Structure 1
Amino acid sequence: MHIFYPINPEYNTSVAYFSMEFAIHQPLKVYSGGLGFLSGSHMRSAGAMGQNLVGIGMLWKFGYYDQARNEDLTMRVDYTTKYYSFFEETGITVPVNVFGKDVFVKAYLLKPTVFGTAPMYFLTTDIPENDYLSRTISHHLYDPNEETRIAQSIILGIGGGKVLDALNHNIDVYHINEGHALPIAFHIYDHYKNWEDVKRRFVFTTHTPEKAGNEEHAFDLLQRASFFGNVPIEEIYKLNADVDGRFDYTLAALKMAKKANGVSQLHGEVARKMWQGFENICPIDHITNSQNVDYWADKALLQAYHEQNDNWIRIRKKELKKQLFELIADQTGDILDPDILTIVWSRRFAGYKRPDLIMRDYNRFMDLIDRVNQPIQVIWAGKPYPLDQEAIGIFNKILQTTLISSRAVILVGYELGLSALLKKGADVWLNNPRYTREASGTSGMTAAMSATLNLSNMDGWVMEFGKNMENSFVMDHSTAADVNEQDNQDAYFLYKKLEEEVIPTYYTDQKKWSQMIRKSMDDIFPFFNSDRMADEYYKKLYNS
């Protein structure tokens, strides 16, 4: 396999890593949120470590979407064609059967020298050889049309496998990041004609901690779509991966893979419990998500950290806050104060992540913002799924509050560049999902890399990191069965933590604040750097 750099002998096993989205760099807009941020960091570390790995993704014509504002400042979804000059032609175009006809898939190469990654191949159907409907398969990431969504999985999985065959890449292990690229397993079967060879070569990472969140479709629809490739239908039946006539991607992957992993220690436990009642499930380990330090951490803060210069860390943080606040003033007209405690909630907008939890007791929230002494500033940013009316409604509800307070702002255009600015400019990174709903989460990791303290419950990765009043502020979480009561209790825990620990420490004990920042950075760099994660994938999944 041609990798374009010397292969480290520790990582000689040849791996193809399939993901529906990759957040590689700001100019390449083929991602929506955390899954892409994770896979992007994995590709950076794989390249830096000399791993024998290639990434396989989709070249989305319109990206995810461009987040803008309507005239009344509410959120608007825009779609704009993306053009990229940094891809190279491979000369490879392969046919893939989708709903009974050949769809032609063209592959472009992203060389490691462009953004410092492993080599990557991006697939598109938006080429003259296809009719209009076939061209639209690679237009929108996570297209809302069910048949198009299924077609996207076929193109990524079977199309990606065919491209690797055409390139004469001899792949030892095929790794799918979430279930989207599941048809690659059927492409492997087509080569070897038995499930044992599939199992030797196929591994799977699951990110979804609830059965209801795992992708499934009607069995007959998938069969009609040629989702199973050339695998005889009686062999598909042997998988016993259908529930009530619907084929479950995750269940099928767990039956076909030699090994799978959750994305945090807690998620590994949750995943094993979720699927323990099913037969012939592969072992489910855990490999905790991580992010790439070289990409995310502010270089001046890193230098100050290594020189143990806490005073320079404080000075640099204020500079970074001012840089963030200049962007905020330009976008919203609000001028924030760098001396005020600044709390950021920023990630993919989704109901279970509860971006508006801090506003649940509205009067108490406004009191925290409007205080004459020891006030807070709150910044929100993030993209909802474009058809998620609940999440868009939360975004617009938060907007109404930001219009009446100069200490609360909500931003649009949440992509890699804005994400980095927010993480570097925040004092506190707020994370308050419903407990066990966040498989891992990674945004708090990258915030900690730039001297921002986490305020979080113990969900996902935080269980392995958080030490209250040492490296972060850790909230209790409700165990109430009723969601409304759970939100009420968790809001109470959040206000209590803010009023009794976060705000007093920031304003009255900067020595303690600096100690916590140092401890946070001490704890984040060794384990939550994606170099550790990329190494662990080889040791736990690829070479096992």
Structure 2
Amino acid sequence: MKAIRRFTVRTVLPEPLQALGELALNLRWSWHPETRELFRSVDPDVWEATGCDPVRLLGAVSGQRLAALATDRRFLRRLHDAEEDLRDYLAGPRWYQQQRGRELPAAIGYFSPEFGITAALPQYSGGLGILAGDHLKAASDLGVPIIGVGLLYRHGYFRQSLSRDGWQQERYPLLDPNELAVSLLREPDGSPSIVALALPGGRALHAQIWKAQVGRVPLLMLDSDIEENDARARDVTDRLYGGGSEHRLLQEMLLGIGGVRAVRTFCRLTGHAEPEVFHTNEGHAGFLGLERIRELTRPEEDGGAGLDFDAALEAVRAGTLFTTHTPVPAGIDRFERQLVQRHFATGAVGATEGGPSIPVDRVLALGTESWSGGDPALFNMAAMGLRLAQRANGVSELHGQVSRGMFNGLWPGFDAAEVPITSITNGVHAPTWIDPEVVRLAAREIGAERIDDAMMLGESRRWDGIDHIGDSEIWEMRRRMRAQLVSEARARLRASWRQRGTVDAELGWTGDVLDPDVLTIGFARRVPSYKRLTLMLRDQERLRGLLLHPTRPIQIVVAGKAHPADDGGKALIQKLVAFADDHAVRHRIVFLPDYDMDMAAKLYPGCDVWLNNPLRPLEACGTSGMKAALNGALNLSVLDGWWDEWFDGSNGWAIPTADGEVDEDRRDEIESGALYDLIEYQVAPRFYERDATELPRRWIQMVRHTLVTLGPKVLAGRMVREYVERLYAPAAESRRALAAVGETGEPYAGARELAEWKTRIRARWGQVRVEHVEAAGGADAPELGSTLTLRVQVHLDGLDPADVDVQAVSGRVDESDVISELSTVSLKPADRADVDGRWRYEGPLELSRTGPFGYTVRILPSHRLLASEAELGLVTVPAETTGFSDGVLR
């Protein structure tokens, strides 16, 4: 008989055990070994049965066991120590609080559509969510005052299984928030805090706010499955990346607009500092900028600043950071313009909160694909994100370069290299992803406290002690972790075959799958086509030969999920599974379904080699290889994402790529051949090359080198410190400059000034021009180090020289006279404007390099409150008819 209603009855803990509830509700337990061990000791069998989830554990353990623990003095001492340790962690000063020399942001709002904190809180699908979770955990360890903002999906992302013929099947278990490590945000009268957005047709979207505590960092998650909503609105947060275009738009409106309102509510109720900086992790949360503009355009008597739209836009941009993770236009959320217009014409931003709504034409302009080749019928979330943020970044050096090219159209007239998108390479949270075996070995050599600091801060000097660990100790550690993976894989494979309809009597062979002494290669990730799950199957006979080699065999562990709507990705999984099902090789290659954080925790440490073979340069970062490297695995990867900048020839292998080959089939053939060659002639021989003591000394040296050199680089602690120093702190400083009170006592004087200046510049820029350029000095055959004197006549159409920067741009030129490796020098006005508004500028140009050399001049807008000279996307260069006189360079 089916229940008509389902709910969770929570355990009432005995008074001496109350601290267990507090520890369970702070997700620090997910990366704090001592707290996890405490929970395991409550009841080891129940701990394993509940998926190592403290909340479920406390709900499932018997009352008799709890009563016994309540009088167990040894357990109570451990509980007290854990409670005190957590309080010290939460209250004590950390890296952020110890910084001096600049005023750091009081708080940062970090918005993401998914967060991978722990498998016990399944609100993630892949790399974007895991990165967001690692960002929060590292921020907590460093004391960075971040407030995370996301959605609470009642079905999370799907659970994956396989049909008999290897086709991916999805199921969406219902998540009860009362069984999760979250608490409901409530008003002083005890009622749930609610945020609301107006919808077309007089409807409204309401959401309550759940809070997960991630160490020191609160994570707010909005949930629309409440009685105040109609059936359609209740389903807005039903599942991650589900539904059609309108469903996705409503999720992103709730995340961005509702998320800002949730932050304001949380700060009001708790006294937490208001964010000075807002960080949108991909374009999904881009609407947050519109809500903040609405706040500032409200009259002062209603709690706003009384700004017009343009001044509010400048104030919002100054304190906003946009991080893009997408290396291809197809990966960006784009909505039909009419769909966005319909939702915002009803006053979605403002109607339920009072005050003016954002004009819909201004909303649409922010997402317009205004560049050549753009589609004017679509609203582009990344374009809006970049227009609403004064600072932006990609997630590896190569991805930053790719992003500058991809979004070049937003800054017309500038070379891609000058597009104001920087890069901060992703990192991973070491306490989450590093195996306890590695921690124990490192702590024994360099000290437990020092290894904790090393994992948190990412400073190279703290990892140097690993150099002193003996070869035999490293090799034995690697074998134990490999054996751990083999055991895990056998259990998961057996369970998968049962789900596929096979009975236990047919599964005796699974007990001999994989071998703890065989070279183990791992491959696990999402399964879009560009990641090329099946590249390894290109020549199946050659792969069989590698798997079954008589003296140097390899074994491969594969995992990954295809998007539920991606039949192409599912077909790739089915093809891989069909190969792995072959009786001849099934003991050497396995596909493990339902890849999640729990599986990953065993997979990364247990692999000797981590394989990554995307189509270059379509991997934005690829953090799975970082997690493997943290555990001493060697990467075997295409030079893409983070591997492109940190591969040094001794920490793994680079798969050669056929860049420029337009025939995808031919490219796969070339690159798969290179992959097979590397495994057969370099990777496997190195692994199996043993000395008289049966140790692979050269392999071990590569493992040690990887830990020492990559360990401090791949850390989320290093990443978050870079965000603080390079982006969060400058953004807070810009915001303060624009929000400061002016001489007349008006707040946001800088924002008003900058908005008015930009309006004036845009109105006149069409008449700004370079009229004449001449160069004096030098010789007929100029030499390195000689100097030219440039004289430039420009027409500024009534603008003041303080409004512009006239630059000489020089560098190497190609056969088409295109300048690369740019060097710029600002020229100075030499006299007053003549009656026609012309100014003369002068300055030296040093010939700083040999070979083909060229120069030009350009005019850019200039203002002290701009973050980048390219910010307005305006530049004037000489027309073809401009007069030149140099007599030296032609």
Tell me the TM-score range normalised by the shorter chain: over 0.9
Q: Which residue pairs with 2:671 in the alignment?
A: 490
The 5-angstrom pairing of residues 533-544 of structure 1 reads 533-544=719-730
Q: Which residue pairs with 1:250 in the alignment?
A: 382
One-letter code aligned to 1:19: S
One-letter code aligned to 1:293: A
Residue-by-residue CA offset, 1:91-114 (whole Å, 9 max, x unaligned): 1111112344211111011123xx
Q: Distance in 1 between matches of 2:411 and 2:484?
A: 54
Shift of 1:351: 0.9
2:426 to 281, 289, 303: 289
1:150–1:225 CA contact under 8 A, matched in 2 = no
1:472 to 652, 660, 675: 652
Q: Which residue pairs with 1:235 in the alignment?
A: 362
Shift of 1:381: 0.3
Q: Which residue pairs with 1:128 in the alignment?
A: 227
Q: Which residue pairs with 1:365 in the alignment?
A: 543
One-letter code aligned to 1:182: G
Q: Distance in 2 between matches of 1:66 and 1:530?
A: 27
Q: Distance in 2 between matches of 1:445 and 1:121?
A: 28
Question: Gapped runs of 5+ residues in structure 2?
Answer: 1-88, 187-192, 298-311, 350-356, 370-374, 446-468, 495-509, 691-695, 731-890
Matched residue SS, 2:114: coil
Shift of 1:327: 2.0
2:531–2:615 CA contact under 8 A, matched in 1 = yes
Q: Which residue pairs with 2:327 in the alignment?
A: 209
The 5-angstrom pairing of residues 34-183 of structure 1 reads 34-83=127-176, 84-91=179-186, 92-100=193-201, 101-112=203-214, 116=215, 118-167=217-266, 168=268, 170-183=274-287
Matched residue SS, 2:326: coil
Q: Which residue pairs with 1:18 in the alignment?
A: 111
Residue-by-residue CA offset, 1:482-511 (whole Å, 9 max, x unaligned): 211111111011011111110100111511
Q: Distance in 1 between matches of 2:528 and 2:147?
A: 31
1:465–1:523 CA contact under 8 A, matched in 2 = no
1:381 to 546, 559, 580: 559
Q: Distance in 1 between matches of 2:434 and 2:90?
A: 27
The 5-angstrom pairing of residues 117-516 of structure 1 reads 118-167=217-266, 168=268, 170-193=274-297, 194-226=312-344, 229=349, 230-239=357-366, 241-242=368-369, 243-279=375-411, 283-305=420-442, 307=445, 308-333=469-494, 334=510, 335-404=513-582, 405=585, 406-468=587-649, 470-479=650-659, 480-509=661-690, 510-516=696-702
Residue-by-residue CA offset, 1:16-67 (whole Å, 9 max, x unaligned): 0000011101201000000011111101010111111110011111110011
Shift of 1:461: 0.4
Relative to structure 1, the CA distance from residue 195 to residue 287 in structure 2 (aligned partners, 3 Å threshold; closer, same or farther) is same
1:56–1:156 CA contact under 8 A, matched in 2 = yes
Residue-by-residue CA offset, 1:432-465 (whole Å, 9 max, x unaligned): 0000000111000000111111100110000121
Q: Distance in 2 between matches of 1:99 and 1:377?
A: 56
Shift of 1:5: 4.1
What TM-score does the superposition give when structure 1 sets the normalisation length? 0.95
Relative to structure 1, the CA distance from residue 526 to residue 221 in structure 2 (aligned partners, 3 Å threshold; closer, same or farther) is same
2:106–2:145 CA contact under 8 A, matched in 1 = yes
Shift of 1:72: 4.1
1:4–1:119 CA contact under 8 A, matched in 2 = no
2:134–2:428 CA contact under 8 A, matched in 1 = yes
Shift of 1:213: 2.1
Q: Which moved more, 1:306-315 or 1:19-28?
A: 306-315
Relative to structure 1, the CA distance from residue 297 to residue 117 in structure 2 (aligned partners, 3 Å threshold; closer, same or farther) is farther
Shift of 1:142: 0.7
Q: Which moved more, 1:49-58 or 1:280-289?
A: 280-289
What TM-score does the superposition give when structure 2 sets the normalisation length? 0.59
Q: Distance in 2 between matches of 1:18 and 1:6?
A: 26
Q: Distance in 2 between matches of 1:176 and 1:18?
A: 5
Aligned residues: 538
The 5-angstrom pairing of residues 511-522 of structure 1 reads 511-522=697-708
Q: Distance in 1 between matches of 2:544 and 2:318?
A: 57
Shift of 1:318: 1.5
Larger Rg: 2
Relative to structure 1, the CA distance from residue 4 to residue 133 in structure 2 (aligned partners, 3 Å threshold; closer, same or farther) is farther
Shift of 1:4: 6.1
Question: Gapped runs of 5+ residues in structure 1?
Answer: none
Matched residue SS, 1:225: helix
Q: Which residue pairs with 2:811 in the alignment?
A: none
2:471–2:697 CA contact under 8 A, matched in 1 = no
Shift of 1:122: 1.0
State the identity as a percent: 32
Matched residue SS, 1:277: helix
Which structure has more relative contact order (CA 8 Å, sep 6+)? It is 1
One-letter code aligned to 2:377: G
Q: Which moved more, 1:65-74 or 1:407-416?
A: 65-74
